[in-house]
Chain A
Amino acid sequence: MTKRERILGWAFIVCVLALAPLFITSNRWIDFLELTLFVAVLGQGWNVLGGYGGQYSFGHAVFFGTGAYIQALLQYKLGWSPWLTLWFAISGTTAVAAMIGYLSFRYGLRGSYFALITLAFAEAFHVVSRSWSSFTEGGQGVQLTLNQDPALALATFQFSFGGPFMKAYGFYYTILAILMISYAATWWMEHSRFGAQLVAVRENEDAAEALGVNAFLVKMRAICLSAAITASGGVYYVQKFLFVEPGIAYGTAKSVEALFAPIIGGLGTVLGPLIGSFFIHGVGEIAKEAIHGVFGDRPGVDLILFGIILVLILAFAPRGLVGILERVWIRLKARGDA
């Protein structure tokens, strides 16, 4: 694709997402879009480290959960404004990422070993958040007080008692803003020296070192950016639901969701996680509808499908849906030109 086509494509996507609420009146579909964008943000967080850097984390929940807990606890314990706590949530999570990254990369953990250690860290944080009740409120979780004063809706970063527009679309635009910032950051990374060096480390660490790339530093920067993006998803989650508990924060679900979207959508591409998230949640919704008539409401259907799609993509389309779409686009253009 040419640069012009890419820019036009992005402009189109941004317009559609920004204007979508004008055309969608059903709450259910707004919720669907919100969830999709939320997972697309988590996915981009994973993609920065896994897709561009080739470091497959199996415990990305550690960054989501830490962001969520910091956001919740600073409000709950100290009564800070959410607009202040969110900076602490993101920078605090980045510090955790720097610690995990320092230990893993300094000791040269790659491949399966990196996947395992991230999983172990997520599990350790899970246990601590469940057990250290005096600090984290333990297994019952942290419940923030609901603000019922419409005048304070913006100040409290809680939109359920705001004006009609804020009530309906406040969090949709919140997650859209987070998405756009994180995707712009990823785009910037891809077109910078840092991004080029990160990809070089993914492709061949020794060769990159020989060419003057400080692989350790590059991976450290990647895990920090990755964690900051994922933590911003945690901030959104806490403000939206005013609640966090160990299972939500550090359970495997978030780790798994974070890696589905980019792998299915297209590893190491800016657009991949968004396309992947739309695809899997679209398929998930359809499947739930279809199953509903036969079995009623049963859990698991969507994840069964996600797992199958993941394996199929790995087997037949290693470049993900983005790769497939690019091929189709090139073929269509060739036909158009002929």
Chain B
Amino acid sequence: MLDVRAMSKSFGGLKAVSEASLTVSEGNIVSLIGPNGAGKTTLFALISGFLKPDSGAVTFNDAGITGQRPHQICHQGLVRTFQVVQPFAGLTVRENIAVGAHTRIAGRAAALAAAGEIAQLVGMGTQLDQSAGALTIAGRKRLELARALATGPRLLLLDEVMAGLNATEIADLVTVVRKIRDSGVTIFLIEHVMQAVMSLSDYTYVLNHGAMIAEGQPSQVTKDPNVIEAYLGHGAAKRLLEMEAGADA
């Protein structure tokens, strides 16, 4: 469904993403993990059209979308959320979601009604008339998800929707994300909360210093020495092995 080939992007000599490639197939939940500053959000911005790549290509549903504007990409069914949530603070929750719904619904009343339904789906049914600016962090994360969902996407790019939430909120949102997948939306997510990554993903990519260093089932990937080194520093994999050996003995 989504195919990213040899994507590169530099900012003033600093390579944020270099030769990154990945594939997301339809109906899956695929995750992208990696240490802070690995270039995950930059990669999302490149895919969704917020940044233009220096080289590389994005194909979505067999059509090239490299270099298109975000709103054009959205209309083809690929929508992103933002890590730093960006609510329309002056509008209500319903109006916020309706902006997304307008992508497929022209009428104002119909879009507002659709917004109500989406809100139910993500568990915001009771907050419809609240001002978006007054929501808690958890509320804003849900709103971010709801708005993106309202556009009727085929592929959702979720950028750290779990960050900053407590355990109950995370469990809630994991259920919501799974429900969205079951309704036929493919999901590609960036996540730091490993509990969510492990329980949600069918497949995982690991990005470090802008380059893909590993991919596979989440349970395999987390055992990959390259990945452990990337997260915990040089020599960490060896130390871990030694510790395990020590514990066994």
Contacts and interface: CB of A to CB of B under 8 A. Distances in A.
Report if A and B touch in the complex (beta carbons < 8 A): yes
Given A196-B111, A212-B100, A213-B99, A207 B71 contact: no
A213 B71 contact: yes
B102 A207 contact: no
Interface string A211-235: 1111100000000000000000000
B79 A211 contact: yes
Interface residues of B, number: 33
Contacts of A191: 108
B6 interface: no
Given A196-B95, A197-B99, A200-B88, A212 B74 contact: yes
Interface string B67-106: 0011110110001111000111111000100111011011
B66 interface: no
Nearest to A192: B108
Interface string A140-176: 0000000000000000000000000000000000000
B31 interface: no
Contacts of B86: 204, 206-207, 210
Given A200-B88, A210-B148, A211-B147, A193 B82 contact: no
Q: Report the contact-size class of chain A (Cβ under 8 Å from the partner).
A: 20 to 34
B48 interface: yes
A297 interface: no
Contact of B100 (A203, A204, A211, A215): A211
Interface string A41-57: 00000000000000000
Contacts of B89: 203-204
Interface in A172-197: 191-193, 196-197
How would you classify the secondary structure of chain A's contact residues: helix, strand, loop or mixed?
Answer: helix
Contacts of B79: 210-212
A285 B123 CA distance: 54
A209 B70 contact: yes
Nearest to A206: B86
B108 A212 contact: no
Contact of A210 (B48, B91, B98): B48
A310 interface: no
A210 to B, nearest CB: 5
A196 B82 contact: no
A309 interface: no
Interface of B: 48, 50, 69-72, 74-75, 79-82, 86-91, 95, 98-100, 102-103, 105-108, 111, 147-148, 150-151
7 contacts: A193-B105, A193-B106, A197-B102, A208-B88, A210-B48, A211-B148, A213-B99
Given A193-B111, A202-B90, 8 more contacts: A193-B102, A196-B111, A197-B102, A210-B48, A210-B70, A210-B71, A211-B79, A212-B75
